[in-house]
Each structure stands twice: as C-alpha cells, then as structure tokens.
Structure 1
C-alpha cells in the first residue's frame, strides 16, 4: 500500500463510526457534528500516468492546470462545509456539501479521462452564489481596528484657502468609560482640502462588558477634524463627525462616508472611515458570495457513444444523488421537508428578514440566495404547522425525539466552542439551545396535560 498513513486515518474514522451506527440502530440520537470528515489526501488530486495511451505534453499541461483549479474549488467548499457543521447550521452545511461532491465528480471525470489518454475534457465557468462565513482571523475577539481613510472636500476655517488646509483627525472611543476613553490622532496632511490619511489604530473592546453594548448602541466613535496653525498659532477646528457602530451586531466590518458637521450644521465636507472586528457581536457574518465555478463536461465513451453519461459517472459521484433524494430536492421533484424546531425556524426567519430589511433600507436588491433561504424557511414553517395541527401520537413522539436530538447536539456544540475559547459561538449556540429546551418542555406539558 502506498499511503499507509492515509489508510490508518480511514481505519480510525471507520472505527469511530461504529458506536454512532450502533446508537442509530438502537434509536438513540447521534450528533452529526461529531461525524468525521472524509480524509482527503494529495492522491485524490493526482493524475495517474497512462502507459497504453499517454497524453501529449501540451495536453498534460492543460490537465494539470484544470486539476489545480478543481483542487482549490474542492478544498474551499470542504472548508466552508466543515465550519458550518461545527456551528450547527445544517442547511448551509448541506448546501456546501453538495458543492464538495460536485467538485469531486469533476475531479474524477478529469482523472478518468487522463488515465485513458482521452482529449482534455471540455469545460466552462458558471456563476455560483453561496453563503460564506466572514471572519477576520488575524484579529482577537477583543480587537477593534479603526481605519481613518481620507477627508473629502473639507471646509477650511475662515481665512484659510482650501489649498492651504493642513488637516489632521482626532478621535475618541468612549470605552471602557468616558473617563478612560481611548484617544489618538492622525498625522497632519498639508495643503489640501481632500487629505489622504490611510492610518489605522487598534483599539481594545470587551464583548462581555456591560458598558460595551451601550457604547455600540448609542455612542459610537467621535471625530474632530483640525487645521494645524502656523508658528505660535493654535489649531483650529474644521468640524466634527460621529460613526455609529450598531451595524457591528450583524457585520464584522463597517465602511462609511460620514458628514463633517459644524455644530448641527453640515459643512459639505465628509470623512471616510472603516471599522473591523473579528466577527459580529451577535455571532457569525453570513455573506452571499458570487464566484466563478469550473464545470467539466462528461467525456463521451469511444466504444459506446450512446452512453456517455455512464462512462463519465464515477462511484464517488453517486452519493450526491443519494443525498439529494434524502435531504434536498432536484429541479424535477417537489421539496422534501422534515420535522425541526419551531423556535429555530422562527429565529432563522427573523434573522433573514432583518437582512432583507437592511438591503431594502439601503435601496438594494437582496441576493437571490438570501430570498430563496427566506422562502425555504417560510415553507418549512407552513409545512410543519400543517403536519402538527392534525398530528397523530406517533408523529408527536417523532417531533419530541427530533427536539431531544437537537438539545443533545447543541449541548455538545456549546461544550466544544467553550473548550476552544470561542465565546461568541458558544453564546450564540447556548441561546439556540435554550430556545429548543423551552420548546421541548412546552411540548411535554401539552402532551401530559
């Protein structure tokens, strides 16, 4: 055997599944976040040489270029799927898993064609939109980075022409308190009313501090733009500005162009600033991302051209269709819904509706993927409500078991995030756990009362 370490890893994972299989057969709950991922080795991306039908050097170069692109595509989707699974976001994990399987199908098509000395498979790119987790991993949970980018058409004080404005920016972040506010200033940029500062400042935050929420919701960061006076002259105030920080509840980054004010009057000048934290205060930042997606076309068989699809399909691509029949739905079949937590479905519905509202408030069209997610949640709620309104005792028992399994899975996730030091994820998961526990207790009272 060429890859002994890979074989040993497969064996360890297989043995680790035995207790889960036994538990599932006995009707006990199984936490899907503990199911190991399929090990991926470099051999999965290697192109075997064909002794009988070798490809030309030019074709070999094209084959390897395609494999490099497919490898990056596959590994990216695999990473996203694993992160969603750890967060307990099953619907997003399944969507990413389908992309993982699709990428592996194209890899198998490429490997099979190369091994048989076939021409390089035809390919094209398509646009795919999917949700991605935005995390600034270089920052700690207690970091907030402020970027002061530039001033735009700043109004100079009386007696100073725009070309003689020597501008700098002071800021104040009132945390941990107004008395202990964090303050600093930029360097002075001379002789322009549209200065480029491009400076950054790392500030300290504490997400669990009682006063921090108040700063985020009502105070924000205050700025003062100054004109540096000459020799023996004091600095003059050009204007002030304030950046509100409420958006950090749902986003890890804010970029704003804010008005420079003179008291309550606008001066016409503006200040461009940016704020970045590791991840949103409320949990994860899901952002729709549209990317180019490489698609390979199946290679027709030379011996039986009437069956090209059978030649192109590999055993590794079969689970995709099986998974679709179990948990998803194809374009030609109706959607399949399963019992889930009403509390979590309503929580997801409210979260998605807040995001849709943000887009509409900014006069932007929401991404189609976000709209489809919202529709899926609404349809799931309607389907489940219709099922449980006329539910038999057996169906109510099944519903209760679903909630019990969710409680166990979420409990394990809370422990995992806590042991990893990921407080925000643990706090978010704990909130979801409490919702399901309350729903379970309510159901048990109704059934026994």
Structure 2
C-alpha cells in the first residue's frame, strides 16, 4: 500500500527547501535551524513481505532483530543531529548526519534483501566515536544537586584519635543571598577519619539572577567538617573547604577532591564532592562517546555474484546541510554564519569580554569554550558587517525580516517570563527586545530615507 501521507510530507519538506537552496546558491546565509527535520515514520523501519520468495521463520526472526538494532541506531544519531542543528553547531550536526545516512543505508539494504527473499545479510560491529550533548534531563533548569561523597584522612581535633573521629559536614550555598543562604548537613559517620557520607542535596538556582552569577564566579559552596562531641560536649571544627563553581559555565557536572583547611593552612585531609546541573550555564558540554556500531554488508546480486550490488543511499538520508555546503569545494565545511541582530551580537561580545577580563584579572586561564564563543561572536560581527556593506535590496529585506522575527520571539519570551513570575529573566529579555526594536527602526529609516 502506498504511503500517500508520507509522500505528501516529503513533498512539503522538499518544497520548503527550495528557497534555501536558491539562497545558498546566491551566496546568501541559510539558517540551518529553520531546515525541517527528516520525516521518519514507522514504515521506514517495516519489512515488507515477499510474495514470490518468502523467508523462513528463523530468517524472519533474524531480520526483525537486525531491524530493531538499526532502528535504535538510526533514531539515536538522528536525535543527536537535530539537537546540534537547533544549537546552530554546524560541524557537529554534519558529523551526526553522516551517521544518520550510514544507518539508513543499512536499513535499505536489509529491507531490499527481505523483500527479495534473500538470506539475512552478513553483519559485524565496528566502533564509532562521536560527540554527544551531556544533559541531565532528570533535572530542571533551576536544580543544582550537591553530592558530598567522602572525607579522606581527615585530621581530628586535639585530644581525638583518628579512629574516634565522628565526622559530619555542614555546607552553605550563598544563594539567593548570604542572608538567605541554603544550608544543610550530612549525618554523622562515627569512628573513622575517612568517612563515607554519600549524601545528596537538591538546591535551588536561578540562571538569570545576577546574584547567582556572582556566586558562580567568586563564592562557590563552603563546607565545614565537624567532630561531634559526646554528651554535654560541643562539636569541634575539623576544618573547612570551598568548592569553586566557575566550571559550571561550560560543564554540567563538577567532581573534585578539595583540600580541608585550618584557616589558611592545609590539614592534609580531603573532601570529595560533586555538583550537577541540567546543562552548562553558557557553553555546551560535549562528551565523546564510543559505541559498537552495527554494519551490514551489501547483498551480492543473484545475476552477477562476483560483483557486489552497490546500494544507493536513500534520498531521505541526504544531509540536510547539503544545500548550505554545496558551494564548498573542500572536504571541511567552512563556518556558516547567518544574519542576526548587530545589537545583540555586540551585547554578547561585551558580556563575553567581561568574563574573559575576570579570568585574566584573577590570573586564571579562560576556558577554551569561552574563548571560542568570543571568537565566534567576533567572526559573526565581521562577516555580517562585510555582507551588509555591499548588501543588495534582497539581503536588506532578509535582514529586516530577521529583526522582525527576533522582536516577535523576544516579545513572546517577555510575556512568558512575566507570567511565570521570573522578573529577572523578563527584565533581561525586555532589554534585549528594546535593543532589537531600536535597530529595526534605524534600519527602516535608512531604507526609506
């Protein structure tokens, strides 16, 4: 039975790509986040029955087992590709698209062999390494989970032997303010100088709050290790420690073994702690993943067994970025920039430069991701300036439309944040909205004047 709805969906998506292809051929920027996702349905993974050469029940079982594995493989890399596309990370999206294309090729090989009643194609596994986005999806954007794992060789207070140390850990997270800091403590672990706590605490954060940014950049989380006194005896301080949180700018998880201090002196003891948030505060946390990859070998043609039949890639498996990169003659795709608001680009540039300045002021090396973000913004500004200096009326119209879409999107975000009671986010977004509105008005005056 013909899948008319699926065909119609493919046609709509193909027609939607026409203006993007035309723009790419004309040297105009293409926004890859607007390119529709590859239509995928369950029919793409179904094995059609062969009326002329049906396969045996045993072979059918093997066919379906292979299809299940290939479906999971295909859907996984398709999901990764879509997420990179939404982030505008062209290079990673293209790498993922190659895996999408490869998986779909194997699916077509399997479907073709099954439809013709041939033996189950030979297969083997190979290792594939690719970058995946590290996101703790079980956490909300306003969650920070603190894990206090263990103490290592804690120095007991005077008069207490290591085997008599009854340790607990208090912590203070100075957000939303020092006066309203979030505090808690672990249970007491008795009779050891290397206690295993393994406790976790869920803390509240607000990514857009100025106070939270100060906590991340300079304060962190403070710990105090205590020895529990006996009956009618007060607790004694073993030492203190501090966990810096700057790494959360570009990572979703920190795990460190920090020194336990007595004032400014080290005690020799350590405290192992871990912090986890949903996703990095500003950058993207990429983690290389190496997995076993199912590879199918082409099925030889019955008419010419000595020559393997070459399997043509499925049209649906072509990389969606092909239109944008077709003009490139090199194997490595150049950076793809798109028109954006000059005001917001300059705003981001100044924000990133302030962060870089803070690191240098503290005699610290800025994270590579922060440096790369700054370079990307600078290059985007330079590219856009060069484009608009010799802009055609069509390009200026596209630029105006980009600003209009930004105004609409930011307006909706202001309403959303206001309805949620998130005043800081609403205020920040409103400031961005005003910048883009002014830029749009200035552009319209220049074009009409």
Q: Normalising by structure 1, report the TM-score.
A: 0.72
Shift of 1:255: 0.8
Q: 1:85 & 1:108 partners in 2: Cα distance?
A: 25
Give the conservation status (yes or no) of the 8 Å contact 1:227–1:238. yes
Does 377-386 or 356-365 show the bigger shift?
A: 356-365
Does 352-361 or 106-115 show the bigger shift?
A: 352-361
Distance 1:399 1:3, change over 3 A: closer
Show CA shifts across 1:147-205 (max 9, x none).
11111222222232222221111001111222221110001111222211111111112
Does 147-156 or 410-419 show the bigger shift?
A: 410-419
SS in structure 2 at match of 1:312: coil
Shift of 1:254: 0.7
Does 413-422 or 156-165 show the bigger shift?
A: 413-422
Distance 1:440 1:359, change over 3 A: same
SS in structure 2 at match of 1:85: helix
Show CA shifts across 1:223-263 (max 9, x none).
01111122222212111111000101111111111111122
Distance 1:15 1:312, change over 3 A: closer
Instruction: Provide the aligned length of Structure 1 versus Structure 2.
Output: 449
Shift of 1:302: 1.4
Q: Please list, as runs of the form range in 1=range in 2, the aligned pairs for 1:31-430 lying within 5 A after superposition.
A: 31-305=31-305, 307-311=307-311, 313-316=313-316, 326=326
Shift of 1:441: 13
Distance 1:448 1:210, change over 3 A: same
Distance 1:212 1:193, change over 3 A: same
Distance 1:209 1:376, change over 3 A: closer
Q: 2:180 & 2:114 partners in 1: Cα distance?
A: 66
Shift of 1:408: 11
Shift of 1:210: 1.9
Q: 1:10 & 1:287 partners in 2: Cα distance?
A: 33
Q: Normalising by structure 2, report the TM-score.
A: 0.72
Note the residue ranges of structure 1 that are not aligned, 5 or more in a row. none
Does 289-298 or 322-331 show the bigger shift?
A: 322-331
Note the residue ranges of structure 2 that are not aligned, 5 or more in a row. none
Distance 1:162 1:212, change over 3 A: same
Distance 1:436 1:68, change over 3 A: farther
Show CA shifts across 1:103-149 (max 9, x none).
11111111111222222222233333322222222222222111111
Distance 1:396 1:290, change over 3 A: farther
Q: 2:427 & 2:94 partners in 1: Cα distance?
A: 23
Distance 1:174 1:350, change over 3 A: closer
Distance 1:20 1:51, change over 3 A: same
Show CA shifts across 1:400-426 (max 9, x none).
999999999999999999999999999
